[in-house]
Amino acid sequence: MPEGHSVHRIALQFRRDFVGHRVAASSPQGRFAAGAEDLDGRAIIASTAVGKHLLLEFEGDRTLHVHLGLYGSWDFAGEVSAAPTFTVEDGRVGDEVRRSGSLGALAGYREGALSEATPEQLAAAQDAAGERNLRVGGPTRRTTLRMAESDRETEAPEGGFPPPPVGAVRVRLLTETAVADLRGPTACEVFDPQQVEKLLAKLGPDPMHDASRTAENRFVQRVLKSSTPIGLQLMDQSVVAGIGNIYRAELLFRARLNPHAPGKTVPEAALRRLWKDWAHLLAIGVETGQMLTRADLKTEQDYRRALRSRGERHYVYKRTGQKSLRGSGTVVMEEMGGRTLYWAPGWQNRPEV
C-alpha cells in the first residue's frame, strides 16, 4: 500500500500540471459517472495530501477525495513535468537532482539531527523539500508516469493526445495538455467542505501537512494516554497520518523502541524525537520517491546501491533472519495487528518490556 510520501508526491504532480487548469472529468469505467459529471468543467484550485488521502479542490466548493488503498494508482500522460529524481531500475541519479543539491541534502544525514529542531525549523525544512521537489520538475515533456507505491516513467504512447483509456479507469481528469487516470482506489468521492473537515478531524497529524508544535503535541499526547503498543499506534491513522508497514518498522528501529512497549511507557522526549524523525524520512521520501531509511548512506554510490536493492535501503524490513545492522541478534518477523512486523529485539530494547 502506498505510504504517505507517495501520496504527497502525487499531490505535487497535480500542483505542477493541473492546479489552475479547467478539466474535463469523466469515468470511462462508469463507476464514478455522477461524481465526474459534478466535477466536469471546473478548475482545480488546490492539491493537498494528508497522510494517505489525496484532496483535489475544485472551484465551487467541490473536493475530489481519493484513497489509493492496496491497488490504486494514478497514470499521468501528455505534457507533464516528470521530476528527474532517483531511478530505481538502474540506480541513476537525475542530473537536475544533482544540480539542485538534493542528494547533498540527503547524504551524510546524522541520525536524530532534527531531534532538537524548533517547530519553525521543522516547518521550514518541510516547505523546502516540497518546493525543491516542485522546482526540479523542470519543463514539461511528453511522457507517461505511473504513481502509486513507487513511481515509474515510460515512453509516451504512439498516437495523438489524449491516449485512449486503458483498463478500468475510475476517473479521468483531462486538460488541454495533460491527463490523469485513476485506477483501483479504495475511495473516490466528491466531498463538500463539511465532509472534508470531518475527514481531517478523524486523521492524526501529518508533519508534511502541519509541522507545528500543536501537531507534534497532538501526536505525543495521543500516544501517552494509551496503553496500546507503540507498534500498533504508529499504524493507527487517527494517531499519526501516513505511516505504513515499512516506515513503522524502520522508525522504531531507528529509535531503538520495542514495538510492544505500551504507548504510555514511552518517554515523552523519545516520542518527540520519533515525530521529527518521521518528518525527516517523509521529506526524503517525497524528494526521492523511495523510502530510504538507513542513516549510513553517505555517498552517491551508497544511494545507487540502495535504489537497486531493498536490502540496502532498510534496516529491518524484509530482512528476517539476517543479522541486525545495529546491536546484536537477528531480525525477526511476527504478526502485529494483522500486519507483518519486522524488528530486531537485540537492538530495540527501549523501554524495557
> Cβ of 334: how many Cβ atoms within 10 Å?
12
b/e map of 64-78 (b: 16 or more CB within 10 Å)? bbbbbeeebbbbbbb
Mean pLDDT of 163-188: 96
Which 3 state secondary structure label does DSSP give 171?
A: strand
Cell of 296: 549510513
Residues 6+ apart with CB under 8 A from 227: 262, 263, 264
The whole-angstrom separation of Cα 316 and Cα 325 is: 8
Mean pLDDT of 136-163: 73
Q: H or E stretch including 67? A: strand 62-67
DSSP string, 71-121: T-EEEEEEEE-------TTT----HHHHHHTHHHHHTTPPTTTTTT--HHH
Q: How many CA atoms lie within 13 A of 144 on its CB side?
A: 14
φ/ψ (deg, to 5) at 124: -65, -40
CA distances from 139 to 72, 79, 84, 123 (A): 27, 9, 11, 27
Q: How confident is the model at residue 62 (pLDDT cuts 50, 70, 90)?
A: very high
Residues 6+ apart with CB under 8 A from 173: 18, 23, 24, 25, 39, 44, 56, 179, 180
> Cβ of 200: how many Cβ atoms within 10 Å?
16
Q: How confident is the model at residue 85 (pLDDT cuts 50, 70, 90)?
A: low
| Helix 213-224 with 268-288: angle, nearest 10 deg | 120
Cell of 192: 463538500
Which 3 state secondary structure label does DSSP give 320?
A: coil
- pLDDT tens-digit series, residues 226-280: 999 999 999 999 999 999 999 999 999 999 999 999 999 999 999 999 999 999 9
CA distances from 335 to 42, 50, 245, 259, 340 (A): 46, 27, 11, 11, 5
Q: What is the pTM of this model?
A: 0.87
- pLDDT tens-digit series, residues 290-334: 898 998 888 878 888 887 888 889 999 999 999 999 999 999 999
Which 3 state secondary structure label does DSSP give 295?
A: coil
- The separation between the first and the last C-alpha atoms of the chain, rounded to the nearest angstrom, is 30
Task: Report the range of poorest mean pLDDT among 96-105, 119-128, 246-255.
Answer: 96-105
The whole-angstrom separation of Cα 32 and Cα 138 is: 33
Task: Report the range of poorest mean pLDDT among 69-78, 97-106, 114-123.
Answer: 97-106
